[in-house]
Amino acid sequence: MPVSLNPADAAFETVLRQRLPKTCFRPQSPHYQTEPRGFFQGQAGLVLAPASTAEAAEIVQQCAAAGVGIVPFGGGTGLVGGQVMETGARPVILSLERMKRIRDINPVDNILLAEAGVVLADIRAAADGVGRLFPLSLASEGSCQIGGNLATNAGGVGVLRYGNARDLCLGLEVVLPDGSIWNGLGRLRKDNTGYDLKNLLIGAEGSLGLITAASLKLFHRPDHQLTAFLQVASPEAALSVLALCQSRLGGMVSACELIHRQGFDFLRETMPQIRLPFAKPGEWMLLVEIDAIADGGADTRFEAILGQAMEQGLAQDALIAQNQVQRQAYWTVRETIPEANRRIGAIYSHDISVPNSRIPELIDKGAGLIAALGDFRINCFGHLGDGNLHYNIYPPRGRNRDEFSDRRDSIKHAIYDLVYRLGGSMSAEHGIGRLKLDDLVRYGQAEKLAMMRRIKQALDPKGIMNPGAVVPP
């Protein structure tokens, strides 16, 4: 059901000002109206930033009574337009920026309770402060917020060992679309009491309720990390190296990132200050990290695996980080590639996943499809092991992405059609937002869409929660 009232209406704003502290009202700012890639320009709605769950519930209750849409806003780092609303009656923009308390941290239970506005890097630092690890790690962790990470079921580089955001969450506190509060902040690892409401709300991008706090899993911090950068012969060879590591080191493999040479070229072009590990990089590279126990023999086994990979022709070169500074330098290369991509400007960025066994086929056939559409640069990189690749298409050097805006749809569908044929997904970790609504209809199952619509209608009958996002009309 569409929203029916413009929040600029004086009577509605008067009610809010009577019931909320002045500190809830934030000045208008382009920050709340844009998203990182510039594909969407949001409306200048009333911006409210509650400092507590009670204040958030009051806002939702008043919006529900008036039929006013709510667009939740976290760190603003989402890449599918879920945090901005271009059309329709102007919404209330509900920012979680002031809800940034870590309510509790318990290294015995290995639990951290954080409000939705806590920046991911601060959660990781708090866990580290008690000798624990919160393993969710993203390039945007210095600004993204945990509420948004859960709302989009963020992935990142540690999925191979630790899972997506939903796998790292034990419970939620949520303001529901009528303004009531569900306190589901459980600390239990096993609770089999009916529907899994937590996992329904994680990944819903604020369309079913507003996440205000979360109970997060902590892990014992590994006391020894082994990190290597390899030049590999091909994507098939990269998969073979990963298989060797997993067969010899089991669950200790925490990250395995496939990187194409184009990513290094983009870094040289836009950020020459970044030190690259290879003076002459190969076509494909692999960044592998092992979380191990000191003196547990992992060093010897890891070196033997890399030696075996080179003997078998899977890798041409391998560099093992000798200290924490070198390890961080390797990861800086990987985590800076998205910024280099942004500076180049993609014609279209694909956040896709396929079964691991189909990754080489995707890369090979995808290159042929793109070549048939024009002279474009492809930067393919991503999380080997969970099948999630960022397959991004760029203009030739010296050209601007805007010159090729008429090619975006043909490029997008060429890759998405291939992904679909390979049994994959056109949205691996960034969600649907508003950018991929049509794609969800085109590639999604009719039965799944019907269930999504029924769930949305049941929980949010007035349609006020993030109107127009996630659930196609």
CB within 8 Å of 261: residues ≥ 6 apart: 281, 282, 283, 284, 285
Q: Give the pLDDT band of residue 23 (cuts 50, 70, 90).
A: very high
Output the pTM of the full model. 0.91
Distance between CA 312 and CA 8 in Å, rounded?
67
Residue type, 90: R
CATH architecture of 345-430+442-457: 2-Layer Sandwich (3.30)
Token pair in block for residue 257: 């990132």
Tell me the β-bridge partners of 315: 232
Q: Judge whether residue 1 has pLDDT over 70.
A: no
Query: Do 102-220 and 345-430+442-457 come out as alike in CATH topology?
Result: no
Mean pLDDT for all residues in the chain: 93
Please check whether the domain covering 223-344 is classified as CATH 3.30.70.2190.
yes
Q: How far is CA 340 from the centre of its chain?
A: 18
Interhelix angle 298-311/235-249, nearest 10 degrees: 150
- First and final CA of the chain: distance in angstroms? 9
Backbone angles phi, psi at 376, to 5 degrees: -120, 160
Strands, sheet with 348-353, edge to edge from the N-terminal-most edge strand: 315-320, 224-232, 284-292, 253-260, 377-383, 388-394, 348-353
Mean pLDDT of 447-462: 96
Which amino acid appears at position 446 of this protein? A
Beta bridge partners of 388: 353, 383
Instruction: Break the chain into its structural domains and give their ranges.
Output: 10-98, 102-220, 223-344, 345-430+442-457
Domain 102-220 has CATH 3.30.360.10: no
Angle at alpha carbon of residue 83, lines to 96 and 459, rounded to 5°: 80
Strands 46-48 and 25-26: antiparallel
Which one of 1.10.3720.10, 1.10.510.10, 3.30.43.10, 3.30.70.1560 gives the CATH number of domain 10-98?
3.30.43.10
Share of the chain above pLDDT 70, in %: 98
Query: Which 3 state secondary structure label does DSSP give 320?
Result: strand
Residue among 160, 181, 233, 172 nearest 199 (CA): 172
Query: What tokens does 330 get?
Result: 């390797």
Provide the pLDDT confidence category of residue 6 given band limits of 50, 70 and 90: low
